[in-house]
Structure 1
């Protein structure tokens, strides 16, 4: 059997310290495994991605028959492409991939499909439908929920008035476009709502959102709502407003609802609301194992969402053991 790099689940705590760790696999351990499953992660620097990795590693620990290989694309499309090419060469039994960019990963995903490796696309789709399964949230649905809530905050359908700063995620990612499009399905119906920025990308990062918001605050005396495509960007905007004493005049809406971030920020009164965007790692791994065991899997699995506000944030935290 080939020697491979893989995450040694017995060293779970050490792996979590850096989110993803790589240890040389020993043949004695590898021989006990029935399936080798590769997972190509886009990056580990975003908190949601870090939780994503924790979830898939924790799920793998429940399956002693599985050897899990996790790679980190380091937020670079070319690095992630090289990671997937390496997993193909290692002849993994199944490939899970969460693309940094849909178009950028399509070609190498097709290579895996052509190599007869079942591919499970997680979170962000690719520009082919020949994969085995897609697992993720419905970003357009979540965007609609956020847009509907923003309209409510500004006075309700037909009466809403106010200004919105929208901070995009990565412009090359489908989730950012879906979260934008879904949001605007509601806000664009309201003539009293004005959007102040034109496609300003925070690249999913708190510090970049801070800078965008700092500029917006200098240029606009009235901002009613900030809609960040994820919680760290919404929180970065909040911090920028706080630094100039305007945070109490603005409502901040984010997406992700990680317990230690978005839900806590809502509970603390820093964000007005966040919408759950569940990580697909655990479900994706379960589905891959199911497929490898000869069971039929659906083409698409859509994970549910939930609105978290001050009314239910504490209950959500208690449910998560916090």
Structure 2
């Protein structure tokens, strides 16, 4: 079974089933040669983003009627804004964007819409509802799954105890806030769970998470669990604990569940669990093509999650040719 089969899309529309917001004056019309679709990616450094790009590029190869233009924001809001402005000047037929920051990319998204370019937002949202569609995992749901599992590992509902380190992805990203809020819906009910840090961000990076965890280990003699908002940060925290001989006393939870990364770390016993956050790239391109062909699309598509533990990690790895 290939990765695409592993993260089969479950289309769960939110809100009005066929509600559609298009730029005023937009009318689908076949380009002379190909549809020109721009994709503004925030960065190509993070492994999940690398897989994201692979998925959308693989889907584009199935559609000879599409010319896909991919840009790399280099993890900088100003660079991503400039990328989108350049795509607008190229007169693309549709824009796919995965923003670095919700607020920072809202203005240029509205510029595209004002230029009669429909926009599909992927993964992280923007602060306007004028886009045609949003596609992504539900980070609140993922956070809830992680929080429920954390409580289970720390003794169960009503009896859970432990000292918790949470490492945020980015304080300016809605995904990080949603993963935090969903998680704390469960952990905050447990009087025995103590949160040791206050909004410590590692910007989704493994090396930065190592540093956050190294400081936490120096400051706290006892840590029972780490919740990283993605797998690289959870793994960075694990490495920091391993370097001082404390990794066996701590349970590490992450998010993403790439087979060759988070799932592998669960298989190795380095993470206790990870929670699937599927990439929306392939589905985003399919939806853009539908839109350009004049079909109605849902305002929101939510991709499913999955809890990965020792019980199912091996099978996932086998299905992806890693065992």
Query: TM-score, normalising length from structure 2?
Result: 0.89
Which residue pairs with 2:203 in the alignment?
203
Cα contact 1:33–1:67 (8 A) shared by 2: no
Which secondary structure state, in structure 1, belongs to the residue aligned with residue 70 of structure 2?
Answer: strand
**Superposition deviation, residue 320 in structure 1:** 2.1
Separation in 2, partners of 1:282, 1:112: 21
Separation in 2, partners of 1:232, 1:74: 18
Please tell me the root mean square deviation across aligned C-alpha atoms, in Å. 0.9
Separation in 1, partners of 2:100, 2:50: 14
Separation in 2, partners of 1:250, 1:186: 19
Which residue pairs with 1:96 in the alignment?
96
Which residue pairs with 1:80 in the alignment?
80
Separation in 2, partners of 1:171, 1:33: 43
**Superposition deviation, residue 304 in structure 1:** 0.2
Separation in 2, partners of 1:278, 1:306: 9
Separation in 2, partners of 1:186, 1:32: 54
Which residue pairs with 1:288 in the alignment?
288
Aligned residues: 292
Which residue pairs with 1:145 in the alignment?
145
Which secondary structure state, in structure 2, belongs to the residue aligned with residue 311 of structure 1?
Answer: helix
Higher relative contact order (CA 8 A, sep 6+): 2
Which residue pairs with 1:268 in the alignment?
268
Query: TM-score, normalising length from structure 1?
Result: 0.90
Which residue pairs with 1:229 in the alignment?
229
Which residue pairs with 1:10 in the alignment?
none
1:38-69 CA-partner distances (Å, limit 9, x unpaired): 00000011111111001100010110110000
**Unaligned segments of structure 2, at least 5 residues:** 1-30
Which residue pairs with 1:117 in the alignment?
117
Which residue pairs with 1:252 in the alignment?
252
Which residue pairs with 2:19 in the alignment?
none
1:205-245 CA-partner distances (Å, limit 9, x unpaired): 00000000001111111111000000000000000000000
Cα contact 1:40–1:71 (8 A) shared by 2: yes
**Superposition deviation, residue 32 in structure 1:** 7.9
**Superposition deviation, residue 318 in structure 1:** 1.8
**Unaligned segments of structure 1, at least 5 residues:** 1-30
Cα contact 1:33–1:64 (8 A) shared by 2: no
